[in-house]
C-alpha cells in the first residue's frame, strides 16, 4: 500500500476526500482497484480514460443488467469511457455514506434510457426487460406491470419525474442498502 500513497499528492487526497463520500483509505483502495481493472498501462496518468467494457469487469457491475447505463451515466464525457475521477464518483455514490437524494438522482438517470428526463412507459418496459432477462414476460403481462407502476407513481400523468421517483424511493427503505457496493 506504500506505493499507492506516492501516486497522489497530499492536496489531491484532501480534494478527493472533500469531493466524495470516501475516506483517504477508501480512495487509496479505489486506486488499487482501478489499477487492477485497467492494468499497468492505465495508471501512469490518472486522467487516462478507459473503455467502459474494462470498468464493467468490476465484480459489482459484471452481472448487473444495467452496467452499460451505470458506466454511461458516470462517464463525465458521455463517451463510453471512464477515468479515475469518474470511477471515484461511482464508488462515492455507491458508498454507504452517500445520501438517499444523491443515490436517487443517479438511479433516476440510470433508468432514464431515452434521456427525456422522465421515466415513461418506454423506460419502464426496458427496465422490466432488463430485470426479467431470459424469463420474458408476455406482452400483456409487461403492459400490465408498466401501467400499474405508472398509475401508482406518476402523480400528474406526464411520466415519472425525478421528484416522484425520489418520493417513491423514500418509501423503499431497502433501496439505500441495495444501491451500493463497497470499495
Per DSSP (E only), the strands in 30-102 are 50-51, 81-82
What percent of the chain clears pLDDT 90, i.e. is strictly above it?
Answer: 72
Which secondary-structure segment (H or E) carries 10? helix 10-19
Q: What is the pLDDT of residue 43?
A: 57
Q: What is the pLDDT of residue 10?
A: 95
Distances from the Cα of 61 to the Cαs of 3, 44, 65, 149, 160, in angstroms?
27, 24, 8, 26, 26
Which of the 8 DSSP states describes residue 173? T
Check: CATH 1.10.238.10 for 100-178?
yes
Q: Which of 58, 156, 64, 169 is nearest to 107 (CA)?
A: 169
Q: What angle do CA 63, 69, 70 make, to 5 degrees?
A: 70
Q: What is the pLDDT of residue 148?
A: 92
Widest pairwise Cα distance in the chain:
58
Cα 99 to chain centroid distance, Å, stands at 14
Work out the pLDDT band at 87, boundaries 50, 70, 90. Answer: very high
Which of the 8 DSSP states describes residue 120? -
Structural domain spans, the chain: 2-93, 100-178
**Which whole number is the average pLDDT over 125-149?**
88
The answer to whether residue 40 scores a pLDDT higher than 80 is no
Q: What is the pLDDT of residue 172?
A: 87
Q: What is the pLDDT of residues 42-81, one digit of tens each?
A: 556 788 899 999 999 999 999 999 999 999 999 999 999 9
Work out the pLDDT band at 1, boundaries 50, 70, 90. Answer: very low
Q: What is the pLDDT of residue 44?
A: 60
Q: What is the pLDDT of residues 151-167, one digit of tens each?
A: 989 988 889 999 999 99
The answer to whether residue 3 scores a pLDDT higher than 60 is no
Q: What is the pLDDT of residue 2?
A: 47
Cα–Cα dist 21/7, whole Å = 20
User: Do 100-178 and 2-93 have the same topology in CATH?
Assistant: yes
Cα–Cα dist 38/49, whole Å = 10
Cα–Cα dist 178/40, whole Å = 32
What superfamily does domain 2-93 belong to in CATH? EF-hand (1.10.238.10)
User: What is the full DSSP assignment across 16-47?
Assistant: HHHHSS--HHHHHHHHHHHHHHH-GGGSSSTT
Q: What is the pLDDT of residues 120-132, one digit of tens each?
A: 999 999 999 998 8
Q: What is the pLDDT of residue 30?
A: 95
Amino acid at each position: 500500500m506504500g506505493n499507492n500513497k506516492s501516486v497522489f499528492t497530499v492536496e489531491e487526497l484532501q480534494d478527493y476526500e472533500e469531493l466524495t463520500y470516501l475516506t483517504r483509505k477508501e480512495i487509496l483502495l479505489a486506486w488499487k482497484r482501478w489499477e487492477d481493472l485497467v492494468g499497468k498501462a492505465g495508471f501512469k496518468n490518472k486522467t487516462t480514460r478507459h473503455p467502459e467494457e474494462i470498468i464493467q469487469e468490476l465484480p459489482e457491475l459484471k452481472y448487473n443488467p444495467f452496467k452499460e447505463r451505470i458506466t454511461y451515466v458516470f462517464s463525465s464525457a458521455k463517451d463510453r469511457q471512464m477515468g479515475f475521477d469518474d470511477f471515484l464518483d461511482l464508488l462515492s455514490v455507491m458508498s454507504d455514506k452517500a445520501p438517499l437524494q444523491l443515490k436517487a438522482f443517479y438511479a433516476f438517470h440510470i433508468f432514464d434510457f431515452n434521456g427525456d428526463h422522465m421515466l415513461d412507459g418506454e423506460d419502464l418496459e426496458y427496465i422490466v426487460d432488463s430485470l426479467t432477462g431470459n424469463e420474458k414476460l408476455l406482452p400483456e403481462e409487461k403492459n400490465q406491470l408498466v401501467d400499474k407502476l405508472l398509475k401508482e407513481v406518476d402523480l400528474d400523468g406526464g411520466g415519472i419525474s425525478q421528484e416522484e421517483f425520489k418520493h417513491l424511493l423514500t418509501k423503499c427503505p431497502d433501496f439505500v442498502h441495495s444501491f451500493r457496493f463497497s470499495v
